[in-house]
Amino acid sequence: MTSPLKPPEGDWWSQPVNRRESIWLGLGAIWSVILFGWMSVWTTAGEQNPIGETYRIEAEAFREKMSAYKDAATETDEGLVPPGTDVYIQAMRFYWDGAPVVLEAGTEYDIHLNSMDVQHGFSLRPEDALSKQINLQVLPGYEWVVPMTFDEPGTYHIICNEFCGEGHRTMHGTIVVTEGS
Amino acid sequence: MAPDDTTDTVPVMQRLYDRIWLLAAAALLFFAISYVGWGWADVFSIPTG
Amino acid sequence: MAHRYDVLGLFDNEYDDEGFRTCSVTGLRIHHTVENHVKLFGLTAVVALLVGGIFAFTVATTRWEAIGLLGPDAFYTHLSMHAWNLLIFWMVFMEVAILYVGGPMVLGRRLPWTKVATAGWLTMVAGAVAVNYTIWTTSTPNEAPLLTAYVPMPVSPWFYAAACLFIVGTVIAALPFFVAMWREKREYPGKTLPLVAFAAFVTSIIAVEALVGGLVAFAPAMLWRLEIIEWVDAAWYRQMYWIVGHGTQQINLVAMITVWYFLTHVVAGAEVVSEKVSRTAFILYLFFINLGAAHHLLSDPAVSTGWRIWNTSYAFYGATFASLIHAFAIPAGIEAGRRKRGKGGGLFGWLTSAPWGNPVFSSTIFSIILFGFLGGITGVMMGQLQLNMTWHNTFATVGHFHATVVLGTTVAFMGLLFFLIRTMFRRQWLSTRLAAVQPYLYAGAMGVAVLMMMYVGILYGVPRRTVEVVSNIQGTEFDLAAASPLFAIFGIFALLAIAAGVLFILLAVGSLLFGKRIDDGTNVSDLVADGGLAMAEDPDDPVHAYEMRGTFVLCLVFLAAFVITYLLNWYLLTQLWSIGA
């Protein structure tokens, strides 16, 4: 019986499989292993991974860290220059607090992401290369520390890409990356 | 290949594939562990920063 | 034998003394309890399609900022209406109908617990209307829920309650299916279910996971909004929500594939080339497909790398392997089945000689090709942990899911409805010519729109869920205006697709209201596969002995597209600066 509408009779398990179908299954299995393997290997060998430490934190506690960070940072025309390699960015309706921030190319920074209120989307790209864009989810109640090292100087633009209310489309910020020393 | 109705010539894998409630229960259990349980373990073990 | 609540002669087929009739197209023995409920759920689905489709117009003409129809006050409400009516109500009402067809109808049984089926329908309708109402009446301080209603965005608690009501209704409506399957297995313990029935069963279990996940996410959210509980954790909500968020899409996938096996058999003469291999694929889906909910949590904090890699891969890509099986088995079934019927000839004669003028056939084939090439491949791309960063929350994500649920599932369901209008509602299509052309228009236009969505998302980083961001971003000179030309193409083809969608509704509703009645003597040769369906049951002419080389070539082309897309996506990723621990 080979109708999908009728029950197959007897021993259908032992029906031989067409040779080309078997070859296809082999190719499919190899491709599946490649998909899994490449993704796994990249977490240790690759330069781009959405991986960083997560901590639970109340909104107020993050505000305090933000305050301390801003006090220790240097205000310039282009933006905040962080005191060390920790960069704090807090999303809120409808503003990226901590931006604009001025960083140096070639230095590894720890970007601390948190939301003060609802979920937001941290969407970042250099202004002269819109296809180089990445997107990370920003949650209230969590501090996500994602290391980043910018290789190209320029102005990078932050847009919010998680719906957060009527002013969602106005949430814009910048990260200015200067030539590395 | 002529149809064969004797149940003892049916391979054990075929009989397993016919046990839909067993398969369903196993799948539900697997999902509960792999996606839900492991995920909860992750989310509920985040340290305070 | 018109049903007590028959309207417009839509529920009045003739049945024998036991309540059965034999379908002259499929040969199935159909009981009126099943058929009338399938029709009820199918008609309701079309109403949802219409409502959601109206909002497709307002949403598309807003995202195409050259028109920019709506402002931020209205857009997100319209987007929510579009999403819930199409992604959930259109799909789920059809899927209950498909469960009834795949289960009791294919098995030649009556529908058990008919009062429960009707109660389920009533509850689902109440839930759907309530969801529509709560979305439409969104007002300060609440925000529109969109599809996801992400905690802690302030969303009306009555929205969450309405969503729970719809879910509970769906569970109730599914119960008669489970009872029918239980009785069938108890009455025939040594018998194997037909492939379509087995597939329907797998669909139902995937649905159970999705629906329970929905209740687990929405009920606490509702309690929090009612201030009965203090807080719901955002990361926990996301993990739970996406069980229903993505799980419902997996129901769409497996239901669609069930429909593919059914329709390719009936209208094109396809047969099952290997019961063992196809069933293995469905079992892989059963175990692994819902793990893919993790795709939405790849660019998230909180969940571990191990959890993300394991679940996003559907356990070593087990469910992707299953899809690759169906990618071969379905066209191979058509090829071998048609060669057996003398319709082969060369490498692709089985395909070129197929009934392309039959909208049931063309819809099904377009669904298969476009789901595979546009939907499936991009799904695997986005589901790779690292590539996800370039897709997450961009308009490319929207492109992906329009490829899967519109080009894939909706086109397949439209084909199924064309089929049911003829075979269950027993009306001729209002215009055979327009019906023949509708799938080409819809799939073609939507296909271009989908490609544009993907390009603007990946190559220009255009966000999803944003009312205005291309031509102008408030407070800065920076914009994404470079994407405007592609958006113009998107806008035009989205409108063409919507027009083709309107054509479908007109043909469907028009046929039901004004189509010529079909009696038992009417010629059905345009629907039934050449050679009739009985050829599939000849044990001395097994289908697996026939050539499948045309399918093999098509699958190699598909694999090549997969590999090339993979390499391009990974190349783009490596151009980025260094990110992550």
What CATH code is carried by the domain that includes residue A145? 2.60.40.420
Task: Suggest the residue from C317, C470, C558 to mutate for an interface test with chain A (most A CBs closer than 10 A).
Answer: C317
The length of chain B is: 49
Omega of the bond prior to A147 within 30 degrees of 0, cis?
A: no
Across-strand partners of A112?
A: A88, A145
**What tokens were used for C90?**
């259109």
Does a structural domain hold residue A152? yes
Does a structural domain hold residue A24? no
For residues A75-99, average pLDDT: 97
Does a structural domain hold residue A170? yes
3-state secondary structure of A157: strand
pLDDT at C581 over 60: yes
Computed over every residue of chain B, the mean pLDDT equals: 89
CB contact under 8 A, A121 and C473: no
Omega of the bond prior to C141 within 30 degrees of 0, cis?
A: yes
pLDDT at A116 over 80: yes
Residue segments in chain B with a per-residue pLDDT below the cut of 70: 1-8
Does the beta carbon of B17 lie under 8 angstroms from any beta carbon of chain A?
A: yes
Do the bridges between strand A95-97 and strand A74-75 make them parallel or antiparallel, or are there none, so unpaired? unpaired
CA distance C129 to A176: 49
C498-509 pLDDT per residue, tens:
999 999 999 999
C384-396 pLDDT per residue, tens:
999 999 999 999 9
Does a structural domain hold residue A29? no
For residues C239-254, average pLDDT: 97
CB contact under 8 A, A49 and C233: no
Does the beta carbon of C62 lie under 8 angstroms from any beta carbon of chain A?
A: no
Does the beta carbon of C22 lie under 8 angstroms from any beta carbon of chain A?
A: no
CB contact under 8 A, B11 and A14: yes
C183-199 pLDDT per residue, tens:
999 999 999 999 999 99
Contact A159, C463 (CB under 8 A): yes
The residue whose two tokens read 């098995």 is C107
Position C544 scores a pLDDT of: 67
Across-strand partners of C227?
A: none
Position C153 scores a pLDDT of: 97
The chain A residue lying nearest B49, using CA atoms, is: A55
* Cβ under 8 Å to C: A residues 74-133: 108, 113, 117-119, 121, 123, 125, 127, 130-133
CB contact under 8 A, A135 and C299: yes
CA distance C161 to C180: 30
CA distance A177 to B15: 64
Contact C458, C572 (CB under 8 A): yes
Position C531 scores a pLDDT of: 65
CB contact under 8 A, C542 and B30: no
**Which chain A positions have a beta carbon within 8 Å of B44's beta carbon?**
none
Position A167 scores a pLDDT of: 94
Position B8 scores a pLDDT of: 61
**Which chain A positions have a beta carbon within 8 Å of B1's beta carbon?**
15
Q: Does domain C21-519+548-576 have CATH number 1.10.3720.10?
A: no
The length of chain A is: 181
* Cβ under 8 Å to C: B residues 8-37: 10, 14, 17-18, 20-21, 23-24, 26-28, 30-31, 34-36
Q: Among A1-10, C403-412, C468-477, whose mean pLDDT is lowest? A: A1-10
pLDDT at A159 over 80: yes
pLDDT at C457 over 90: yes
Query: Which pTM does this prediction carry?
Result: 0.96
Note down the domain range covering A166.
53-178
Among A14, A55, A61, select the one facing B47 at the smallest CB separation: A55
Q: Among C75-84, C120-129, C383-392, C518-527, whose mean pLDDT is lowest? A: C518-527
Does the beta carbon of A41 lie under 8 angstroms from any beta carbon of chain C?
A: no
CB contact under 8 A, B4 and A11: yes
Do the bridges between strand A95-97 and strand A120-126 make them parallel or antiparallel, or are there none, so unpaired? unpaired
Under an 8 Å CB criterion, which residues of C touch B? 181, 185, 190-193, 198, 201, 205, 208-209, 233, 235-236, 239, 243, 276, 279, 283, 286-287, 290-291, 293-294, 302-304, 307, 310-311, 315, 539-540, 542
Contact A86, A137 (CB under 8 A): no
Q: Cα distance from C566 to chain A (closest Cα, Å)?
A: 9
pLDDT range class, residue C542, cuts 50, 70, 90: confident
Among A4, A25, A27, select the one facing C272 at the smallest CB separation: A4
Among B7, B39, B46, select the one facing C307 at the smallest CB separation: B39
Q: What letter does residue C538 receive in the DSSP assignment?
A: -
Domain ranges in chain C are: 21-519+548-576
For residues C360-389, average pLDDT: 98
Note down the domain range covering B27.
12-45
Q: What letter does residue C123 receive in the DSSP assignment?
A: H
Computed over every residue of chain C, the mean pLDDT equals: 95
Which residue, C339, C374, C397, is CA-closest to C451?
C374
Q: How many CB atoms lie within 10 A of CB C346?
A: 9
Chains A, C: CB pairs < 8 Å: 321
**Which chain B positions have a beta carbon within 8 Å of A55's beta carbon?**
46-49
Does a structural domain hold residue B2? no
Does a structural domain hold residue A95? yes
Does a structural domain hold residue B30? yes
* Interface chains of chain A (3 or more CB pairs under 8 Å): B, C
pLDDT at A1 over 80: no
Angle at C94 between CA C93 and CA C96, to 5 degrees: 65
Contact A80, A73 (CB under 8 A): yes
- Domain count within chain A: 1
Q: Cα distance from A17 to chain C (closest Cα, Å)?
A: 6
* Cβ under 8 Å to A: C residues 267-286: 270-277
For residues A118-144, average pLDDT: 97
Does a structural domain hold residue A81? yes
Contact A3, C533 (CB under 8 A): yes
Does the beta carbon of B45 lie under 8 angstroms from any beta carbon of chain A?
A: no
Q: How many CB atoms lie within 10 A of CB C253?
A: 26
* Edge-to-edge strands, sheet with A101-104: A74-75, A80-81, A101-104, A172-178, A154-160, A120-126, A134-138
Among A11, A54, A61, select the one facing B9 at the smallest CB separation: A11
pLDDT at C205 over 50: yes
pLDDT at C320 over 70: yes
**Which chain B positions have a beta carbon within 8 Å of C235's beta carbon?**
43, 46
- Domain count within chain B: 1
Does the beta carbon of B8 lie under 8 angstroms from any beta carbon of chain A?
A: no
pLDDT range class, residue C342, cuts 50, 70, 90: confident
Does the beta carbon of B45 lie under 8 angstroms from any beta carbon of chain C?
A: no
Phi, psi of A93 (to 5 degrees): -75, 105
C135-147 pLDDT per residue, tens:
999 999 999 999 9
Position C417 scores a pLDDT of: 97
CB contact under 8 A, C291 and B3: no
Does the beta carbon of C33 lie under 8 angstroms from any beta carbon of chain A?
A: no
pLDDT range class, residue C523, cuts 50, 70, 90: confident
Position B2 scores a pLDDT of: 46
Does the beta carbon of B10 lie under 8 angstroms from any beta carbon of chain A?
A: yes
Contact partners, residue A164, CB within 8 Å, separation at least 6: A91, A93, A94, A117, A118, A119, A120, A171, C153
Q: Which percentage of chain B shows pLDDT scores above 90?
A: 80
**Which chain B positions have a beta carbon within 8 Å of A15's beta carbon?**
1
Among B7, B27, B39, select the one facing C239 at the smallest CB separation: B39
Does a structural domain hold residue A116? yes
For residues A84-111, average pLDDT: 97
Q: Cα distance from A60 to chain C (closest Cα, Å)?
A: 16
**Which chain C positions have a beta carbon within 8 Å of B26's beta carbon?**
287
